[in-house]
């Protein structure tokens, strides 16, 4: 393994310092993932068994990426090596030790929605004032306590410390918290935070178990360390305590997840927490042109709570950063489409090289409209893209039910679309009946292969279900008939697009929209047509495949990983852009109250503005060659035209790196 040709000296140091705590402060574009993957390869090369290495990431995507890169380096990915998210690794540890914590095998995991409805039930059972106890807010408080590892006996004091509610209010929250945990335990269930919290509990109460894992994970590596929460920190600390080989990589300039529990102090005080820690700074940026680096450096220098880093690049200066003032959001979109046209026509860029970044999801709408009009291909990453539209989700749910009539989740979605007089209460009854009638029926099971009886079968004879009247039963039976027809269509020899089309008609979905006739309804019909085109394309490319395959592959089609293949401009929130890079980047809506976001301004906390500034830093540093930033003078907000002020962040960019333009034209 010849490291010196592949890595710079700092990266080599990060890779080869295998013993003791190591903090790598890795600037944007400095080869952070490279250092991480080479380190794993290097450890194995040095004779460390893959069994003894644990690598923790934040997302499954990051874990996959890393596995792939390690495989490229080593020729194969050692399958005994644990690489995964904090959560998935904890699931693995927990399932090996369930009995010790008093859980049965076959536990379930509650997602946010399930947790929320549980909290709602508890609030109801406590007879608390609905006005004062919103399940969403209560769950947030519960999550906060778990994330911050607050002990149960100090909860009340902690809540009062950070909030401004009454003692009675917080006492009730504490009661809900306790009840919530009891119910989870009774249901043999964990929520997302429990996965970590219970692993910690396991380690703290069973020293022998802890010792076992400490010896297993002699080498611990953590990615994106600036976004770890207190609970994750505690877990890392426990695992690393014995062998003390903890290696963390992160960039305090890019900490943007405070709202979901990230605590920058973890990275800022790493050197204090782990004695004799070695700090290595990766400051050379390989990604961006000089002007982009210098501009982003000037911006981030305004923040206070951070390490001193001198990000530099050997790359050429490049073009100035363009800042465009647009009359309004339509003119802004017009400007962007025009620039993209120019870049593609005259500067050799492809659509694929371009990304548009915004602060909030809803900003994509005006852009989308402009892109459609100008016929520029685009793709929305995350947020409400094509597959997130209501009508597309609905039709996909119909297809899912056609393929698997026991898919309860899809069934729930379509049962009353179009209106069939079967509401949430009726469905609840049916589900409850299914749970009694079929012991293995599990609403939380997402297992598509589950062949057991489910909702569909019960709908055939709904009179058996207690509490369902004759009228409703007739409606349900009629729906069941419709579904049988839908299933018959699936069994037919029609092509996939024809089947989809037939299902749209048989279900009454199409008629519903045609009858409505409103603009949104017509828009939805258009989108469904687009979906049919998609099905046609799919069939053309895969003549032998059937509806089952199509439904299964739809998931992949909407997956982010396949993005690079298609030549489309990508649109996404700044958050979603983290870790990505593009030759050309447009940052839009850079105005006070938009970016920085209104709530961060209103909170009055300097740290909130600093997080927004880091967010802007992340956005800018995604760009390799060209960076365009735009703001509007006027914008429609909440139905009224508001006069906008350019973002304070724009004033923080050195004027000599900038070229300002004005764009008033709009379509």
Partner DNA sequence: CATCATGAAGTTTTT
Partner DNA sequence: CTTCATGATG
Interaction of residue 254 with DNA, rule CB under 7 A: no
Nearer to DNA, 217 or 479 (CB): 479
247: preceding bond cis by omega (within 30 degrees): no
Please give the DSSP secondary-structure letter assigned to residue 651. H
Q: Any catalytic annotation for residue 545?
A: no
Q: Which is nearer to DNA, 59 or 529 (CB)?
A: 59
Residues numbered 70-89 forming contacts with DNA, rule: CB under 7 A = 85, 87-88
Q: Least Å distance between CB 292 and DNA? A: 23
Task: Give the number of residues in contact with DNA, rule: CB under 7 A.
Answer: 43
Q: Which of 188, 160, 182, 186 is nearest to 172 (CA)?
A: 160
Contacting range for DNA; rule: CB under 7 A; set: 20-28, 180-188, 254-262, 318-326 = 254-262
Q: Is 43 exposed, middle or buried (0-12, 13-18, 19+ CB in 10 A)?
A: buried
CB of 257 to DNA, least distance (A): 7
- Active-site entry in 12, 17, 18, 33: 33
Task: Tell me: does residue 260 bind DNA (CB under 7 A).
Answer: yes
Return the number of the residue (87 or 613) whose C-beta is nearest DNA. 87
* Active-site pick, 475, 622, 635, 648: 622
What sign does the dihedral 458-463-468-473 (CA atoms) show? positive
Q: Which stretch binds DNA (CB under 7 A): 59-67, 396-404, 480-488, 657-665?
A: 59-67
**Catalytic option among 191, 194, 223, 391:** 223
Q: Does 315 bind DNA (CB under 7 A)?
A: no
Rounded CA gap, 216 and 48, in Å?
11
Is residue 422 a contact residue for DNA (CB under 7 A)?
yes
Closest approach of DNA to the CB of residue 579, in Å: 11
**Annotated catalytic, 643?**
no
649 binds DNA (CB under 7 A): no
For DNA, give the closer residue by CB, 14 or 380: 380
**Cα–Cα distance between 451 and 472 in angstroms, integer?**
26
Question: How near is the Cβ of 232 to DNA at its closest, in Å?
Answer: 11
Task: Indicate which single residue of 360, 442, 452, 558 sits in contact with DNA (rule: CB under 7 A).
Answer: 360
Per the annotation, the verdict on 578 as an active-site residue is: no
Please indicate whether residue 158 is annotated as part of the active site.
no
Which own/partner pairs from 452-460 qualify as long-range (CB within 8 Å, at least 24 positions apart)? Answer: 452/406, 453/406, 454/405, 454/406, 454/408, 454/411, 455/406, 455/408, 455/411, 455/430, 455/431, 456/401, 456/405, 456/406, 456/411, 456/480, 456/483, 457/405, 458/430, 458/433, 458/434, 459/430, 459/483
Binding mask 115-144 for DNA (x = CB under 7 A): ---------------x--------------
Q: Is 58 in the site for DNA (CB under 7 A)?
A: yes
Establish whether 254 is a catalytic residue. Answer: yes
Task: Give the x-and-dash track for 204-233 against DNA (CB under 7 A).
Answer: ------------------------------
Burial class (CB in 10 A: 0-12, 13-18, 19+), 560: middle
Check residue 362 for interaction with DNA (CB under 7 A): yes
Provide the angle, in degrees to the nearest 10, between the axes of the packed helices 496-506 and 390-403. Answer: 100
Annotated catalytic residue 215:
no
User: Can you read off the two tokens belonging to residue 278?
Assistant: 């070695």
- Work out whether 163 is an interface residue with DNA (CB under 7 A): no
Distance CA 363, CA 493 (A): 43
Q: In what helix (H) or strand (E) does residue 565 lie, and over which residues does it extend?
A: none
Q: Which residue has the tokens 């950070």?
A: 162
CB of 27 within 8 A of CB of 253? Answer: yes
| Chain positions contacting DNA, by CB under 7 A | 58-61, 85, 87-88, 111-112, 130, 192, 256, 259-260, 359-362, 382-383, 416, 419-426, 429, 467, 472, 520, 572-573, 575-576, 597, 599-600, 636, 638-639
User: Could you list the active site residues?
Assistant: 32-33, 223-224, 254, 622
């Amino acid at each position: 393994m010849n490291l010196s040709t592949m890595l710079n000296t700092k990266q080599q140091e990060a890779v080869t310092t295998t013993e003791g705590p190591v903090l790598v402060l890795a600037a944007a574009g400095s080869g952070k993932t490279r250092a991480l993957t080479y380190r794993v390869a290097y450890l194995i090369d040095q004779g460390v068994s893959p069994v003894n290495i644990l690598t923790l990431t934040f997302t499954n995507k990051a874990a996959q990426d890393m596995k792939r890169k390690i495989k490229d380096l080593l020729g194969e990915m050692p399958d005994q090596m644990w690489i995964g998210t904090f959560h998935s690794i904890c699931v693995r540890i927990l399932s090996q030790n369930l009995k010790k914590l008093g859980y049965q095998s076959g536990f379930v995991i509650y997602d946010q929605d399930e947790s929320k409805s549980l909290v709602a039930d508890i609030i109801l059972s406590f007879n608390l004032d609905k006005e004062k106890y919103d399940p969403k807010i209560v769950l947030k408080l519960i999550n906060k306590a778990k994330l911050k590892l607050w002990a149960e006996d100090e909860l009340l004091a902690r809540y009062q410390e950070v909030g401004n509610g009454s003692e009675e209010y917080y006492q009730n929250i504490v009661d809900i918290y306790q009840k919530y945990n009891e119910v989870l335990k009774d249901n043999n269930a964990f929520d997302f935070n429990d996965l970590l919290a219970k692993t910690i509990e396991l380690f703290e109460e069973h020293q022998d178990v802890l010792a076992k894992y400490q010896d297993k994970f002699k080498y611990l590596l953590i990615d994106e360390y600036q976004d770890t929460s207190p609970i994750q920190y505690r877990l890392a600390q426990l695992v690393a305590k014995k062998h003390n080989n903890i290696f963390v990589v992160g960039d305090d300039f890019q900490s943007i997840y405070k709202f979901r529990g990230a605590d920058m102090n973890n990275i800022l005080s790493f050197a204090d927490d782990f004695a004799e820690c070695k700090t290595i700074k990766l400051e050379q940026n390989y990604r961006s042109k000089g002007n982009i680096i210098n501009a982003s450096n000037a911006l981030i220098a305004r923040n206070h709570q951070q390490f001193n880093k001198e990000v530099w690049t050997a790359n050429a200066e490049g073009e100035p950063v363009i800042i465009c003032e647009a009359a309004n959001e339509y003119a802004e979109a017009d400007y962007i489409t025009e620039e993209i046209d120019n870049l593609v026509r005259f500067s050799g860029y492809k659509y694929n090289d371009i990304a548009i970044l915004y602060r909030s999801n809803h900003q994509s709408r005006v852009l989308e409209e402009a892109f459609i009009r100008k016929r520029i291909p685009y793709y929305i990453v995350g947020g409400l893209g094509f597959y997130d539209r209501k009508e597309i989700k609905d039709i996909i749910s119909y297809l899912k039910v056609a393929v698997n009539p026991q898919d309860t989740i899809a069934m729930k979605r379509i049962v009353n679309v179009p209106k069939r007089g079967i509401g949430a209460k009726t469905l609840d009854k049916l589900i409850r009946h299914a749970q009694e009638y079929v012991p293995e029926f599990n609403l939380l099971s997402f297992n598509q292969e589950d062949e057991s009886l489910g909702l569909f079968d019960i709908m055939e004879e709904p009179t058996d279900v207690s509490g369902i009247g004759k009228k409703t039963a007739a409606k349900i039976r009629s729906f069941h008939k419709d579904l049988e027809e839908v299933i018959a269509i699936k069994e037919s020899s029609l092509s996939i697009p024809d089947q989809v089309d037939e299902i749209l008609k048989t279900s009454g979905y199409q008629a519903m929209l045609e009858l409505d006739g409103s603009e949104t309804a017509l828009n939805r019909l258009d989108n469904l047509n687009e979906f049919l085109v998609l099905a046609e394309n799919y069939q053309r490319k895969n003549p032998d495949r059937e509806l089952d395959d199509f439904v299964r592959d739809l998931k992949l089609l909407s997956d982010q990983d396949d993005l690079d293949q298609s030549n489309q401009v990508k649109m996404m929130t700044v958050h979603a852009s983290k870790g990505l890079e593009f030759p050309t980047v447009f940052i839009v809506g850079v105005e006070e109250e938009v970016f920085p976001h209104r709530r961060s301004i209103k909170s009055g906390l300097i740290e909130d503005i600093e997080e927004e500034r880091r967010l802007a830093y992340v956005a800018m540093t995604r760009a390799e060659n060209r960076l365009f930033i735009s703001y509007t003078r006027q914008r429609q907000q909440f139905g009224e035209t508001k006069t906008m002020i350019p973002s304070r962040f724009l004033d923080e960019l050195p004027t000599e790196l900038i070229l300002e333009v004005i764009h008033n034209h709009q379509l």
